[in-house]
Amino acid sequence: MLYVHNNLTRQKEAFQPIDPQNVRMYVCGMTVYDYCHIGHARVLVVFDVIYRYLRKVYGEQHVTYIRNVTDIDDKIIARANENKESFQNLTERFITAMHEDADLLGVIRPNEEPRATVFMKEIINMIKTLVEGGHAYAANNGDVYYDVSSFANYGQLSGKQMEDLRAGARVAVDEAKQDPLDFVLWKAAKLNEPSWDSPWGKGRPGWHIECSAMSTHCLGNHFDIHGGGLDLQFPHHENEIAQSCAATGEAFVNVWLHNGFVRVDDEKMSKSLGNFFTIREVLKKYAPEVVRYFILTSHYRSPLNYSDKHLDNAKSALTTLYTAVRGLNAPEIIVDNKFTKQFEKAMEDDFNTSEAIAVLFEIAKEINRQRDAAPEQAALLVSQLRQLGSLLGLVQDDPEAFLQGKNQISQDGLSDIDVNEIIKQREQARIDKNWAESDRLRDDLKAQGIILEDSGGSTSWRRA
């Protein structure tokens, strides 16, 4: 039985899909005006793992995963103006970049990736319904606002009281709003802004409404899981609930999942603080799988501190796993033993990836123990390690490729050919028992980041 921590109830609860034949999950994706940073990588990877696990439990054909793209908003418009390019051009570029980054990180593509600009009709219809139902009003400045007072449960997800929110010093007073907590559904276009026609004049959607319109369109009014970063809990997801429930008259989402932040020096990594590292920056130095491993070492709801030291640590750990699966031909057999159960128990406990990874290390240790005495048994365990690893998107590569840094984007230093040439020279020195020369060559390579391992009469190598 799969248990998940539902942010709506703030409790771990048994996950019961509305329809086990079609488990439906929507995750808030990126606003595409810049490259994705490590915080975005975390959402991508965390929900990828959740998606993988749901597919394992309910079957590949029985899970629908939607991750949207916000391709129109103030920042996009501002950035496009700065760059003197069309906003479409800007967003296309960054959508492509996002796909490149996600693919490198081993993130399975969602079933659909709806974009706000493609769903204008649905967005406008939903706003119309809200206005007609008395949940929204057109203000005299041309904007349309959601009337928060019309929705009794407002604040449930974020645990906020409307009174407290109003008392909060940071709620700006906007003349056009009837209540400072009301939020915009439709923004009237200013001069030279991209706009769409609507019953309220030219304009564009507010941020929250696109997710309500697209999620219900793609998944139905009432679906299983809605996810995103913790910073979206309020106001974004709170507002989505208000909009969707008011528009459809039905329950919206059963389970809300939010991943914790990536931090730098104990501070949230964010665009506004400017303390972010883009995925592509980091991938210049570390293999994508190292980044993925790093993200999965901690529980998805915990904060995750980013630093080179932690990535180095992740690389060493992953090296241990790849070293264990090296040199054994894994048969295509499903292995089911105590490790499988341990692993599943961990994953079914609100996707406890750190505990699941611990199981991978236990398997690795067992492989190493058995490798000489019982190679067939060891090979079976290699299959298992890879099968379980596939649920996390880890240890799926060719071991030599990982260990020799072939899947790292930037390769510097010696080429494989150089390395093999030096190894050959050293072989001769070793045959001659010229240990001084042999050690000199090895030290030489080590100084260039190449580590040699002599075992079983042959020499293998890896990049440090």
Partner RNA sequence: GGCGGGAUGGCAGAAUGGCUAUGCAGCGGAUUGCAAAUCCGUGUAUCUCGGUUCGACUCCGGGUCCCGCCUCCA
Q: Is 358 helix (H, G, I), strand (E, B) or coil?
A: helix
Residue 270 as a binder of RNA (CB under 7 A): the answer is yes
From the list 99, 27, 103, the residue with the least C-alpha distance to 67 is: 27
Asked if 390 and 356 touch (Cβ cutoff 8 Å), the reply is no
Q: Residue 241: which of 205, 215, 203 has the closest Cα? A: 215
Binding status of residue 453 toward RNA by CB under 7 A: yes
Q: Which is nearer to RNA, 22 or 437 (CB)?
A: 437
271-310 binders of RNA (CB under 7 A): 271-272, 297-299, 302-305, 309-310
Rank residues 9 and 89 by Cβ distance to RNA and give the closer one.
Answer: 9
Total residues interacting with RNA, rule: CB under 7 A: 84
Question: What residues between 86 and 145 interact with RNA by CB under 7 A?
Answer: none
How far apart, in whole angstroms, are the C-alpha atoms of residue 152 and residue 194? 35
Among 187, 217, 268, 386, binds RNA (CB under 7 A): 268
Identity of the amino acid at 325: V
Q: Which is nearer to RNA, 112 or 454 (CB)?
A: 454
| Contact residue for RNA among 435, 444, 449, 458 (CB under 7 A) | 435
Answer for which of 23, 43, 139, 144 binds RNA (CB under 7 A) is 43
Q: Binding to RNA (CB under 7 A): which residues in 192-221?
A: 207
Evaluate whether 2 touches 348 at the Cβ level (below 8 Å). yes
Nearer to RNA by Cβ, of 310 and 406: the residue is 310
* Nearer to RNA (CB atom), residue 340 or residue 352: 352
Q: Binding to RNA (CB under 7 A): which residues in 322-351?
A: 323-324, 349
Which member of 85, 132, 250, 439 binds RNA (CB under 7 A)? 439
Other CB atoms within 10 Å distance of the CB of residue 237? 26
Give the residue from 260, 262, 258, 185 showing the smallest Cα distance to 226: 258
Cβ of residue 253: shortest distance to RNA, in angstroms? 15
Q: Is 185 in the site for RNA (CB under 7 A)?
A: no
Backbone φ and ψ for 119, nearest 5 degrees, come out as -115, 30
Q: Name the segment binding RNA (CB under 7 A); options: 82-90, 118-126, 193-201, 445-453.
A: 445-453
Question: Is there a contact between 231 and 145 (Cβ–Cβ < 8 Å)?
Answer: no
Kindly tell me which residue out of 19, 82, 132, 164 binds RNA, with binding defined by CB under 7 A. Answer: 164
Candidate ranges 86-94, 188-196, 261-269, 407-415; the one touching RNA (CB under 7 A): 261-269
In the list 90, 98, 165, 242, the residue contacting RNA (rule: CB under 7 A) is 165
Does residue 452 bind RNA (CB under 7 A)?
A: yes
Select from 60, 175, 266, 332 the one that contacts RNA (CB under 7 A).
Answer: 266
Strand ranges (DSSP E) for 114-272? Answer: 136-138, 144-146, 183-188, 203-205, 223-229, 253-259, 262-264, 267-268
Identify the residue among 23, 28, 144, 381 touching RNA (CB under 7 A): 28
Taking the C-alpha atoms of residue 260 and residue 107, their distance in angstroms, rounded to an integer, is 18
What Cα–Cα distance (Å) separates residue 436 from each residue in 418, 428, 460?
A: 20, 12, 20
d(CA 237, CA 183): 12
Measured from the CB atom, is 19 or 439 closer to RNA?
A: 439
In the complex, least distance from residue 139 CB atom to RNA, rounded to whole angstroms: 17
* 29 touches RNA by CB under 7 A: yes
User: E-assigned strands of 324-426?
Assistant: none
Q: Do residues 285 and 310 make contact, with C-beta atoms less than 8 angstroms apart?
A: no
Tokens 């409404």 appear where?
A: 209
What's the DSSP call for residue 21?
T
Does the protein bind RNA through residue 236 (CB under 7 A)? Answer: yes
When asked if residue 262 is in the footprint of RNA (CB under 7 A), the reply is: yes
Identified binder of RNA from the candidate list 16, 149, 153, 320, rule CB under 7 A: 320
Contact 227, 28 (CB under 8 A): yes
Q: Which of 153, 178, 316, 396 binds RNA (CB under 7 A)?
A: 316
Kindly state the helix (H) or strand (E) to which residue 10 belongs, with its residue range.
Answer: none
- Which CB sits closer to RNA, 14 or 334? 14
> Rounded to an integer, what distance in angstroms lies between the CA atom of residue 180 and that of residue 183?
8
Residue of 1, 140, 170, 332 that binds RNA (CB under 7 A): 170
Residue type, 218: C
